[in-house]
Amino acid sequence: MSIVQHLIHGELVTKGERTADVFNPSTGQAVRKVELASRATVQQAIDSAKAAFPAWRNTPPAKRAQVMFRFKQLLEQNEARISQMISEEHGKTLEDAAGELKRGIENVEFACAAPEVLKGEYSRNVGPNIDAWSDFQPLGVVAGITPFNFPAMVPLWMYPLAIACGNAFILKPSERDPSSTLFIAQLLLEAGLPKGILNVVHGDKEAVDALIEAPEVKALSFVGSTPIAEYIYAEGTKRGKRVQALGGAKNHAVLMPDADLDNAVSALMGAAYGSCGERCMAISVAVCVGDQVADALIAKLEPQIKALKIGAGTSCGLDMGPLVTAAARDKVVGYIDDGLAAGAKLVVDGRGLRVTGNEDGYFVGGTLFDHVTPEMRIYKEEIFGPVMSILTYESEEEVIRRANDTDFGLAAGVCTNDISRAHRIIHQLEAGICWINAWGESPAEMPVGGYKQSGVGRENGVSSLAQYTRIKSVQVELGGYTSVF
């Protein structure tokens, strides 16, 4: 069985330390092993990055951008291979995997604009014979810890811009589906990135703690569950690191009586069941104004959910693949059991799904609950699976209050044909990302992040400069010395 290796100083490295199995969720079989880094291995990657940083920092931004242009081309040329790797280890469909990669490529495109986004400000005559300017400077060695659900896209949220800004980067991807992440990093080296500027170490908590505790690592970026986000934020900031940590979500879609239900259903089907619901931006709650809206919505959703084409992710023409692990499947089934026991009406039951030829895969079908109440666990907690709940209230004010009655605040949306109402509701929704009559991932130039327990900080766009650079202001005296004051 092959082993997924670390990438340190431009070389694939096998340390012979602990390993973990990597499974194909569609078959339930282990397909390879992945190395789990010790603290010493993580430190070797950090030392490589630290040594490579000075020369890269002094490389002109335009030359850094040229590497990113070549990287983008290589990603596009290898789309089919990368999508296959994602699907085999994560389980999402080939179409979902290709869509994920395209979102990541958009972030590489944004990183190609480094010469423009790194421009500072210039002020003439701030004092007698004195001009001033500001300058974005890299931090040095920075690190990213990324989740299993987007093994291509989320790392590409982080390191392309961080590297284009002049930093060296340590990536600790999920050990559940590491192959595509490693392959993509190798493509960046093929594009001309100097050795040591991007290192990839696989691992578990030991590797994470090594990154948190290393004084050479100046910033940490994390995407994952809320408990781990809180741990990384607390431990990282305690050591003086710059930390952004994006956590879980419980996203609400508000449907008004004048909503275009066909459009809403199309958006909800993709948002709730795409990638088997294993997305931080998945819609898990639809909040309707009035029973008529809820009944009409369910009447349109139910047949489409039952008609979902589900199978091995590496097959073509599917709507949904399996969940990532047996534990994830069992957790989702447990939530469905709990919702039914709590009194919710199970409109579509995804339990017990068996896929012919893949009977050992980790499958759960699309699931829909009605008559859900705010006290139920299926309403309050992040399920991270293909389960959607319907709640009904009688007024706009109550719907907004209920949509905000959650510990999370990543994403929310509203479906209505009244643009004034749409803006009024969006203004009141407590979420970092909002949609009107649509649902999807945020584009590369827009910040990604949430409120409350959905985490702190923002990825994407110029917001990432706050994570990966520091600003220096410079004043220059043009003649004899004169005080600026």
| Chain position carrying tokens 């961080």 | 162
Residues facing 91 on adjacent strands: none
Q: State the angle between helix axes of 61-77 and 153-164 in degrees (0 to 180), rounded to the nearest 10.
A: 160
Residue 414 vs residues 251, 267, 288, 340: alpha-carbon distances, Å? 11, 11, 10, 27
CA torsion sign for 301, 303, 304, 307 is positive
Residues facing 477 on adjacent strands: 130
Out of 165, 276, 280, 415, the active site residue is: 280
Q: Which residues contact 426 (CB under 8 A, 6 or more apart)?
A: 414, 434, 436
CA distance 89 to 86: 6
Q: Which residues contact 22 (CB under 8 A, 6 or more apart)?
A: 4, 30, 31, 32, 33, 34, 89, 175, 176, 177, 178, 179
CA distance 159 to 172: 11
- Please provide the size of the chain in residues: 485
Q: Residue 288 carries which side chain, given as an amino acid letter?
A: C
In this structure, what token pair is assigned to residue 284?
Answer: 């898990």
In this structure, what token pair is assigned to residue 94?
Answer: 């080939």
Taking alpha carbons only, the member of 445, 424, 444, 426 closest to residue 435 is 426
Residue 165 vs residues 57, 263, 317, 460: alpha-carbon distances, Å? 8, 40, 40, 13
Helical spans, DSSP H, in 309-450:
326-341, 377-380, 396-404, 419-428
Per the annotation, the verdict on 280 as an active-site residue is yes
Residues catalogued as catalytic: 280
